[in-house]
Each structure stands twice: as C-alpha cells, then as structure tokens.
Amino acid sequence: VSLYVSMSMAKNFQSIFVEWDLGMYHEESDTPAKVKTMALNEELGQISHVFSDKTGTLTCNVMDFRKCSIAGVSYGKGITAIGAAALQRRGEPVPVEALEANHKAREHAVPHVTFYDP
C-alpha cells in the first residue's frame, strides 16, 4: 500500500511541476499547461520507433528531428542533404521552399532539432 501511495504522491508532484513549467506556456493563446490526468508524465515521450544499426558502438548515431506525422497530418518543412542529393541525381531541382525552410529551421534550432512548420 505504501508503494502505491508513494507513486500517487510522486505523480501528483510531477503534475504540479508540469503546470508550473514556464516552457510549457503558450503566449499567443495565453494558455498554461493543464494536467488533467495523473498518468500524463508516463504518456509523454513514449518511443514507438528506434532506429539503429549493428555498429552503433563504432559510429556516431546522431538523429535530427525535422518532421513528424500526427494523426496522418505531416508537420515540418525542409529537406535533408540526402533528399536534396537524390533530387539532383535524378536531374530535378531542389525546391526553393525546402531550402528556405531549412534556413529558417536552423535560425531557431536547438541541438538535434531542425524543425520548421509555419
């Protein structure tokens, strides 16, 4: 019983910290984070795919977040270096919009996140 009570208290404190987190405040709509379930922190950041290779210990596996799809809607603009090279190999031009999105994403980038979606 004490473990259950301890876990419930920990989840409660975590929900309070989420609501206090200024980084989760949306200025445009004047909306703070609102926790409506005690299991929210368990649901955040769940991993559904892990990309790896067999030589992960010998190589530098760095992934950049560029695009995502939520409920079938694609978010994120831009193109990767591999995508641009593939277009050039086929003789197709790299879209100017994609290059501009890459530039805008780099302006506001945090490490390993080059995401831009106007």
What DSSP element (H or E) covers 15? Answer: helix 2-20
Other CB atoms within 10 A of residue 34 CB: 10
Active site residue 64: no
Local confidence pLDDT in tens for the 118 residues of the chain = 799 999 999 989 988 988 899 988 889 999 998 888 888 777 776 667 766 666 655 556 677 788 888 998 988 888 888 889 999 999 999 999 888 888 888 887 678 787 888 7
pLDDT value of residue 51: 67
Catalytic residue among 21, 53, 64, 117: 53
With beta carbons less than 8 A apart as the criterion, state whether 111 and 65 touch: no
Torsion of CA 77, 81, 83, 89, to 10 degrees: 140
Per DSSP bridges, beta strands 68-70 and 73-75 are antiparallel
